Amino acid sequence: MMKAQTLFEKIWNRHLVKSVDDKTDVLYIDRHFIHEVTSPQAFDELKQRTISVFRPEQTTATVDHNVPTQKQHLPIQNKESRKQVEKLYENVKEQGIQCFPLLDEKNGIVHVIGPEQGLSRPGMTIVCGDSHTSTHGAFGTIAFGIGTSQVAQVLASQCVLVSRPKTMKISINGILEEHLTPKDVILYIISKLGTDFGTGYFIEYTGEVIDRMSMEGRMTVCNMSIEMGARGGLIAPDEVTINYMREHSKTALTKEELEKWKRLQSDADAKYDIEVSIDADEIDTMLTYGTNPGMAIRVGDSVPTSTGATASKALEYMGINEGKVLEGLPVKYVFIGSCTNGRYEDFAIAADYLKGHKKSNKVTALLVPGSNRVMKQIVDAGLDKVYQEAGFEFRQPGCSACLAMNGDTIPAGEYCVSTSNRNFEGRQGSGARTILASPVLAIIAAIEGKIVNAKTIREWKK
Amino acid sequence: MEKIDKVHSPFVVLDIDNIDTDQIIPARFLKSTNKSGYGEKLFYDWRYDSKGSLKLDFPLNRNHSNVKILVAGENFGCGSSREHAAWALHDYGFRVIVSTHFADIFKNNALNNGLLPIEVSPEFYEELLEEAKVDSEISLLVDLSKEEVCLMVSGIRESFKINPHKKQCLLKGQNDLDYLIHLKDEIVAFEKSMK
């Protein structure tokens, strides 16, 4: 009888070209995404060796990390950024690779456009030179971030050499309270398990909370797997997945495809190297107080006592004292966007909290849709008006203030409630102080100009 | 790729956990389309003040030329997949990073660029910190063939583990692309078998 397998093992084994030794595998890659920042050196490597891209039709390019989020119709002001974007356009043209350039209706953040263009499909192996490639795991794929050397490997051979990760199952059981979001779920998990708990593992998320979650929410959860050090995270496809694929696939779903997807489940008696169980009752609105995503607390909790030099350094950087509750902390900047929370649903959830309120005039808000399609959905639903009337304006798509390499930065010393994924020192600009949170906490912070307490959030819409 | 076998050098200590790739090389320096020149931007926001002057209390700035080994706290290299982090460390002159453990993507990127990440026990790590406090010129001898790291003077040594394929790549100065290019026929056959 065949050994019981996890979903991860099934997909991995199906894509295993060969094992180099007992530690290293040659893994075949179905879908490769590239962007302007981590690909130019890989194309150069191929050029130096005078080899062309092996399977250009399996790679898709976008520009997102280093693009302006205003006046995209004008030439990019920063000379180096312009050169980097132009270099990508040249490379994809030369090699016959599909590309969604600036202003294209399909342009946007790589992990937003892959799913919405129907390119990320259940059962696939997916890589990109970006750590948040784990996002695509929401579709029941093995998706992980790679370095530029590996981007070159995929361009040249459609394969990567990788060590096989161990497996972890995280079940999230029970029912989430109405005001809680997938971002609260994943921030809670990381705060509970730690920023390096997942190192060497590939996670499968299961349980009632995941079952009831939309595809967009599942993407938020899988997106941040890397923030606990995991190689990636995936969720078995179900009806929610299939409905999303029906809406987004460019080709009609075949009977064969649907049958194949239904088999993408872990066997009932499959063994994981680690299993973790989380109860939905433990979760409340989450936010970070330190300089890694594991340094997060429920909004009502006080900042934990520092455990050593590293934690003290983080608190000093943040200007936050141990034992303190964050309620009332004044906030001057809010960023809603990124591959974590820059999809339509995120802006729709936030808009729900906006009705009857206005942005505080002390707050500068950056609202950056994950893609042009997301912006179109916002307009089609009339939400752009809701935001406008409340004093907000939208920018054009891009990674923006998530990593602040395009000039969308937060000033030194200022707090920014951000729906992105990393609160590292200087991540949003030198000296900027990032507080990671959900779109709900972010929009309320933009209205109130401060961090509010749990009761306010719970009763906001009543 | 540059070969690595034995590295004998003094070391710099950054006793901070979770040093992420945004600290190693901030995103605003990723606009170049080249692989070189990142060394001067290494740990930029820790190494330089807001006016661009060296912060003299930062360990890298206290050190002398020709230091090839960095000793750093656990979970080194977490965060972004930017290979620029490995390029910056290598370009600065490091050939070995010692920590109690590394983030996965960084470890792989380092190995692909002739930069050897060595995972040691917490006890050995503490020993390095103690010895460095006493004598800043103290050195480490790293022997990749033997998979062993030795603290010179005291002679305290520890063996480390490395992926066997990666070990051969580093010793021979070959990278994975060399391997995969020669595998083309097998990959084509695999694609046919998948259909």
Chain B residues near residue A91 by CB distance under 8 angstroms: none
For chain B, domain boundaries: 6-194
- Closest CB to B177 among A156, A195, A313: A156
To the nearest whole Å, the CA of B161 is away from the closest chain A CA by 12
Chain B residues near residue A427 by CB distance under 8 angstroms: 22, 27
| Residue A16 structure tokens | 């295993």
**Does some domain include residue A207?**
no
Task: Pick the more confident residue, B63 or B56.
Answer: B56
- Is B22 in Cβ contact with A424 (below 8 Å)? yes
Mean pLDDT by 10 residues, chain A (462 residues): 92 97 95 98 97 98 98 96 98 98 98 98 98 98 98 98 96 97 98 96 98 98 98 98 98 96 97 98 98 97 91 96 96 98 98 96 98 98 98 98 96 98 97 98 98 96 86
Longest CA pairwise span in chain B (Å): 64
- Is B32 in Cβ contact with A403 (below 8 Å)? no
For residue A58, what is the domain's CATH number?
3.30.499.10
What CA–CA distance (Å, rounded) separates A64 from A56?
20
* Domain identity same for A260 and A294: no
Q: Is the pLDDT of residue B65 over 80?
A: no
In the β-sheet with A415-418, what is the strand arrangement from edge to edge? Answer: A364-367, A333-336, A415-418, A433-436
Task: Determine the residue of chain A that is closest to B30 in CA distance.
Answer: A37
| Three-point CA angle B183, A32, B33, nearest 5° | 95
Chain A to chain B, count of Cβ pairs less than 8 Å apart? Answer: 179
**Does some domain include residue A281?**
no
Using only the alpha carbons of chain A, give its radius of gyration. 21
- Is A196 in Cβ contact with B103 (below 8 Å)? yes
* Domain identity same for A330 and A439: yes
Chain A residues near residue B89 by CB distance under 8 angstroms: none
**Does some domain include residue A202?**
no
**Does some domain include residue A199?**
no
Domain housing A365: 290-459
Amino acid B62: pLDDT:
85
Chain A residues near residue B26 by CB distance under 8 angstroms: 426, 430
CB A220 within 8 A of CB A186: yes
* Each residue's pLDDT tens digit, B106-149: 999 999 999 999 999 999 999 999 999 988 889 999 999 999 99
Question: DSSP letter string over B31-87?
Answer: --SSSSS-GGGTTHHHHB-TTS-B-TTSHHHHPPS---EEEE-SSBTBS---THHHH
What CA–CA distance (Å, rounded) separates A438 from A383?
18
- CA distances (Å), B138 to each of B10, B11, B13, B73, B142, in order? 6, 7, 11, 19, 13
**DSSP 8-state assignment for residue A302:** B
Confidence band for B153, pLDDT divided at 50, 70 and 90: confident
**Does some domain include residue A91?**
yes
**Does some domain include residue A216?**
no
Number of domains making up chain A: 2
Task: Determine the residue of chain B that is closest to A149 in CA distance.
Answer: B112
What CA–CA distance (Å, rounded) separates B94 from B110?
11
To the nearest whole Å, the CA of B81 is away from the closest chain A CA by 5
Candidates B28, B48, B166, B178: best to mutate against A (most CBs of A within 10 A) is B28
* Domain identity same for A296 and A262: no
**Does some domain include residue A211?**
no
Question: DSSP letter string over A343-397?
Answer: SHHHHHHHHHHHTT----TT-EEEE--SBHHHHHHHHHTTHHHHHHHTT--B--S
Query: HEC profile for B114-139?
Result: CCEEEECCHHHHHHHHHHHHHCCCCE
- Is B112 in Cβ contact with A23 (below 8 Å)? no
Chain A residues near residue B18 by CB distance under 8 angstroms: 195-196, 292, 310
- Is B83 in Cβ contact with A28 (below 8 Å)? no
* Domain identity same for A386 and A446: yes
| Residue A192 structure tokens | 């509970």
* Domain identity same for A386 and A430: yes
| Residue A55 structure tokens | 């399977």
Place of tokens 């079940």: A171
Give the mean pLDDT of B27-50: 95
What CA–CA distance (Å, rounded) separates A66 from A403?
9
Candidates B83, B104, B188: best to mutate against A (most CBs of A within 10 A) is B104
Q: Is the pLDDT of residue B1 over 90?
A: no
* B6-194: CATH superfamily: Aconitase, domain 4 (3.20.19.10)
* Domain identity same for A15 and A62: yes
* Domain identity same for A421 and A299: yes
* Domain identity same for A236 and A348: no
Amino acid A70: pLDDT:
97
To the nearest whole Å, the CA of A395 is away from the closest chain B CA by 20
What CA–CA distance (Å, rounded) separates A338 from A333?
15
Amino acid B154: pLDDT:
86
Type of residue found at A15: H
Amino acid B190: pLDDT:
98
* Domain identity same for A111 and A245: yes
- Is B187 in Cβ contact with A28 (below 8 Å)? yes
Q: Other C-beta atoms within 10 Å of A309: how many?
A: 12
* Domain identity same for A248 and A329: no
Confidence band for B195, pLDDT divided at 50, 70 and 90: confident
Task: Determine the residue of chain A that is closest to B74 in CA distance.
Answer: A196
* Domain identity same for A258 and A401: no
Q: Is the pLDDT of residue B64 over 70?
A: no
Question: DSSP letter string over A132-179?
Answer: GGGGGGGGS-EEEE--HHHHHHHHHHSEEEEEPPEEEEEEEES---TT
Chain B residues near residue A196 by CB distance under 8 angstroms: 18, 74-75, 78, 101, 103
| Residue A321 structure tokens | 């004292």
To the nearest whole Å, the CA of A168 is away from the closest chain B CA by 16
- Is B165 in Cβ contact with A20 (below 8 Å)? yes
Candidates B81, B108, B181: best to mutate against A (most CBs of A within 10 A) is B81
**Does some domain include residue A79?**
yes
* Domain identity same for A254 and A333: no
| Residue A107 structure tokens | 């342009």
- Is A17 in Cβ contact with B31 (below 8 Å)? no
- Is A147 in Cβ contact with B81 (below 8 Å)? yes
Chain A residues near residue B190 by CB distance under 8 angstroms: 17, 28
